[in-house]
Amino acid sequence: MADRIQIRHATPLLPGERSATDPSRAVTLGVMGGGQLGRMFVHAAQALGYRTAVLDPDATSPAGLVSHAHVHTAYLDADGLARLADAVDAITTEFENVPAEALRRLAERRPVAPGGDAVAVCQDRAAEKAHFTASGVPCAPYALIETEAQLAAVPDALLPGILKTARLGYDGKGQVRVADRAALAAAWAELGRVPCVLEQRLALAAEVSVIVARGADGTVVHFPPQGNLHRDGILAVTTVPAPDVSPAQAAEATACAGRIAASLGYVGVLCVEFFVLADGALVANEMAPRPHNSGHYSIDACDASQFELQVRAMAGLPLVAPRLHSPCVMLNLLGDLWFDAVGRERTPDWAGVLALPGAHLHLYGKAEARRGRKMGHLTITAASAEAARATALQAAAQLGISAF
């Protein structure tokens, strides 16, 4: 399906110029959501010279703390949406679970990228998989389960599989591995009998992701495929260039991501995650209508980050193909690192980590460390992939992260 909501400004929103809708202020870019992705978007927008505004219900949200303005309301609050629209010239989102309806309402007054229709597809696993298929991109065999009849009709070939809630799942949440029909029925009950998708469990050789940026004029640029390692459903390590991915596989994944974005009528930054199967085939896993955890390395290892491209796409600025200037490894820093083996709070050894060559530390300004919570990331850049990996393993050992 094509997104009905498109960027409306005919000319680029240039940094530092006065707003055409409110000449009393400079051009301002808004973001729905105040987490770490919003924070890094705000940094990128401000580096280019834009004012920024964030809408988020958390008074101490990481993005709200560093933005010029923070609209502190719920995402569907009519007054809050009106205040954000009054304050900005274009709007984006920093996570996929911002209500699509909020983006549609904002689009009545301001350019929104990506639009609500595109985000709505990404919010529903069944719609997402249908879109992959319609775009000519293979995905894992699956079945939709919304009723007892659909549960009973699940083909035997889909077991063993992974049962996933159709909505609101991320970082491994809302997912249960099931070996047989009895386990499937129990898992669906455990998940509250909400609409789910059962995916066949496939033999995987690797996991990769591709980040593309698409402009309103149809221009598409991309980052190189990223090799990803997940632990407990949460991204742990990203390596770029992706190891053990052939040039042909990289080209195919990039082309597939571009087709998916084009068929959505997408404007903005889109990440598509792929499984590389044991036989070398690629299947799409899921997509995110925003910058992605696996692309955080681009801040330090590329000449334009995924967040700068997010700014450029929403503002109508030229999209220039980003260049990877340094091989790198990125480590996710979860709240577990703030606790020792017996559960006492501690401060990780930042001094030791920052003594390593090519170490770039990013902490997200979150007030409280919790196990499994993303608190920051560490990117190691080097002259070669081998050197980046070796230093990243040193950093992991110093921080208490398992080797990879």
Q: For residue range 235-289, what is the model confidence (pLDDT) as tens digits?
A: 999 999 999 899 999 999 999 999 999 999 999 999 999 999 999 999 999 999 9
Number of other residues whose CB lies within 10 A of the CB of residue 73? 17
Do 245 and 329 lie in a common domain? Answer: yes
Helix (H, G, I), strand (E, B) or coil at 196: strand
* 225 lies in the same domain as 334: yes
The reply to whether 306 sits in an annotated binding site is no
CA atoms of 301 and 322, how far apart (whole Å): 10
**pLDDT for the residue 168:** 76
Q: How many angstroms separate the CA atoms of 123 and 286, rounded?
A: 10
Q: Which amino acid is at 266?
A: Y
The response to whether 201 counts as a known ligand-binding position is yes
With beta carbons less than 8 A apart as the criterion, state whether 270 and 209 touch.
no
- pLDDT of 4 > 50? The answer is no
Q: Is 202 annotated as a binding residue?
A: yes
Query: Is residue 67 predicted with pLDDT exceeding 90?
Result: yes
| Residue 156 to residue 160: CA distance in whole angstroms | 9
pLDDT at 2: 37
308 and 345 in a single domain? The answer is: yes
Residue 148 is assigned to a ligand binding site = no
Average pLDDT over residues 19-33: 97
Domain of residue 80, residue span: 28-122
User: What percent of the chain has a predicted confidence (pLDDT) above 90?
Assistant: 93
Closest CA to 319 of 225, 241, 218, 224: 218
Check if the beta carbon of residue 334 is closer than 8 Å to that of residue 375. yes
Residues 212, 85 within the same domain: no
Residues facing residue 204 across a β-bridge: 277
Q: Is 125 one of the annotated binding-site residues?
A: yes
- Beta strand pairing call for 359-363 and 374-381: antiparallel
171 and 289 fall within a common domain: no
Q: What is the pTM of this model?
A: 0.94
pLDDT at 392: 98
DSSP state of 171: T
What are the structure tokens assigned to 171, written together?
């970082």
Q: What is the pLDDT of residue 11?
A: 84
User: Do the domain assignments include residue 49?
Assistant: yes
Q: Rg for the chain (alpha carbons), in Å?
A: 21
286 is in an annotated binding site: yes
Average pLDDT taken over every residue of the chain: 95
Q: Verify that 90 and 236 share a domain, yes or no.
A: no
| Confidence check: pLDDT of 10 > 70 | no
171 assigned ligand-binding residue: yes
Label residue 124 exposed, middle or buried (CB < 10 Å: 0-12, 13-18, 19+).
Answer: middle
Task: Check whether 146 is labelled as a binding-site residue.
Answer: no
Inside any domain, residue 75 = yes
**Is 173 assigned a ligand-binding role in the annotation?**
yes
For residues 92 and 166, state if they share a domain: no
Q: What is the CATH number of the domain that holds 180?
A: 3.30.1490.20
Is 96 among the annotated ligand-binding positions?
no
Residue 174 known to bind ligand:
yes
Residue whose structure tokens are 């393993």: 393
136: in domain? no
| The pLDDT of residue 6 | 42
> Does residue 9 carry a pLDDT above 80?
no
User: Does 386 share its domain with 359?
Assistant: yes
The answer to whether the annotation marks 199 as part of a ligand binding site is yes
| Number of domains composing the chain | 3
- Cis peptide, bond prior to residue 318, ω within 30 of zero: no
DSSP per residue over 291-345, as a string? --GGGTTHHHHBSS-HHHHHHHHHHT-------B-S-EEEEEEEGGGGB-TTS-B
Indicate whether 5 pLDDT > 60.
no
